[in-house]
Amino acid sequence: MRFMIGYGSCGIAAGAEEVAKSVRERLSAEHSVTVDLVGCNGMCFAEPLMQVKDDEGNDYYYGRLTGEKAVKIVDAFLNGEIPEENKIEGDELKFLKGQTRIALRHCGIIDPESIDSYIEAGGYTAFDKILKMTPDEVIEQIKISGLRGRGGAGFPTWFKWEAARKENTEEKYIVCNADEGDPGAFMDRSVLEGDPHSVLEGMMVAGYAIGAKCGIIYVRAEYPLAVKRLTIAINQLREKGLLGKNIKGSDFEFDFKIMKGAGAFVCGEETALLASLGGDRGMPTPKPPFPAQKGFRKQPTNINNVETFANVPWIIENGGEAFAAMGTEDSKGTKVFALAGKVKYGGLVEVPMGMTIRQIVFDICGGIKNGKKIKGVQIGGPSGGCLPEELLDTPIDYKSIGATGAIMGSGGLVVMDEDTCMVDMARFFMDFTSKESCGKCVPCRVGTTRMLEILNRIVKGEGREGDMELLQSLGSSIRDSALCGLGNSAPNPVLTTMRYFKDEYTAHIEEKCCPSFKCASLIKYEINPEKCTGCTLCGRKCPTKAITGSVKNPHVIDKDKCIACGECAASCRFGAIFKVSGEAVRYE
């Protein structure tokens, strides 16, 4: 019998440390039972998690655990029982069972700090296989697979590898872009924490294919657990004799370095990443030359992200045709998404390309929280786009998503319900991109700042005639003339919300109201004297003392003092306080 406790960052933050300690103390004398600390299996909504595999190979999942609850589950299994308390089943288990996992195939299953656990699961068989192949044969399998870079641009992986392969130099590099900077995105972190060896093996395959001797993982310093597990994995490779010269008696030589980044969003762009690797400020440079021609230390360099490399061993083991059999004509294989926002079951989802957004949100992730209606999704991170409910049947592939004005991005998917203000959502993402702009080119540095200023005015009720036209003009100019891909895509949230949610902009600018009742400057709170009992609780909760009235008599709100924080409405037990925005009224 095996007990697997989710021990990624999300699980630890939710209390997995206590669960692990309690279970290990309980099973310290049980020699027929294995307890492993594994990575996150993606069901972040139910952390802390424990998976139980019985002696017949059956799997059972338990969530929202404490140390005490976990011990009760362990005792039940030891007594031959299958406990029902805290069991994950039904729609919640459908979240996991409805996926097709390749990049995440080992996450939540193997011990990420044990190379033997990875090898037992079939790890490094792909590396053994490529040592009997020529580099060109390796690249051909990647070409057949149709694997495209999962970092956002979706560029054919084989093409980048072949370009670096053709460069006739002794010194070449493989770089893993693990600088995951999108708000709400945690795909790369989860893979690095749960299955670091798959990424390292993928990099070794790439190194063999292009003729590189060094692999560099550029990882955010904010990912300490990922860095720790990568370090352990690299040391284990050295101990096994799988790094250095003449690996396994071959002519292949390879080793790894870990470089920690300071968390600049722009360093997710490959030329900015290379500048940071070289000790310079992370700022992009014009292309060509491309990194495959002149990258790290001015030498040919191949750059792919974590998810891309994690797919490579599976492709080599199973053949390019097996990967290409999944997905669509334009986009092969699977894609990992981080689901966040108003979705019922948030976490990591890996699905075949071609599945629709609606299927992901409703069939796998359970739909919207609290019975609310869905308004749309933000796909592709802060440089992605906001798509309305009527476009949820768009297939997840590069061509279809691109046709909507959004981008696939690295895989962030933020779900928004009917209470989300799309103008404020666009302002939030523009605030992020303007702050994260490296400042090198004028269109991005100045253009995003001007767009943010306009959006700030609009959500404050100070929008003017012509603001939408000006936003459109600025966004188009930035998209067409910014230096790098991040700058080009920075206006996407604004351009897509104006395209699909134009009525909300019109309401903010012309009617000075927020239809979603979210923009504080456009909201007023009032008290219904017929419902107010004069309990005084709202007045005591108000931080600005804007509510006055005597005991057992109706109270009133001074609109000049009210900051629309909502504390009064949240505290009222009689439903007497309501919001007003324009001519619309809403009781909390």
In contact, 26 and 77? CB cutoff 8 Å = no
Mean residue pLDDT across the chain: 94
Q: How far apart (Å, rounded) are the C-alpha atoms in residues 51 and 87?
A: 10
pLDDT at 152 over 80: no
Question: Given 3.40.50.1820, 3.30.70.20, 3.40.50.300, 3.40.190.10, which CATH number is that of 523-587?
Answer: 3.30.70.20
Question: What letter represents residue 563's amino acid?
Answer: I
Confidence of residue 172 (pLDDT cuts 50, 70, 90): very high
Mapped onto helix, strand or coil, the DSSP state of residue 373 is coil
Ranges of each domain in the chain: 2-97, 115-324, 334-417, 422-510, 523-587
Determine the 3-state secondary structure of 201 from DSSP: helix
Domain 2-97: top CATH class: alpha beta
C-alpha triplet 13, 51, 123: angle, nearest 5°: 95
How much is the pLDDT for 588?
64
The fold of 334-417 is Ubiquitin-like (UB roll) (3.10.20)
Nearest CA-CA partner of 337 in 190, 477, 199, 195: 190
Tell me which H or E stretch contains 304.
strand 301-305
CATH number of 422-510: 1.20.1440.230
Cα–Cα distance, 405 to 474 (Å, whole number): 16
Give 580-588's long-range contacts (Cβ < 8 A, gap of 24+).
Answer: 580/523, 580/524, 580/525, 580/526, 581/513, 581/514, 581/515, 581/517, 581/519, 581/522, 581/523, 581/524, 582/507, 582/511, 582/512, 582/513, 582/522, 583/513, 584/513, 584/515, 584/517, 586/517
* Mean pLDDT, residues 350-362 taken together: 96
Percent of the chain scoring above 90 in pLDDT: 90
Distance between CA atoms of residues 406 and 109, nearest Å: 34
- Give, as one character, the DSSP assignment of residue 372: P
| pLDDT, greater one: 347 or 264 | 347
Q: Closest Cα to residue 351, out of 330, 327, 329, 368?
A: 327
Architecture of domain 115-324: 3-Layer(aba) Sandwich (3.40)
Residue 351 has pLDDT above 90, yes or no: yes
pLDDT tens-place string over residues 507-546: 999 999 999 999 999 999 999 999 999 999 999 999 999 9
Q: How confident is the model at residue 185 (pLDDT cuts 50, 70, 90)?
A: confident
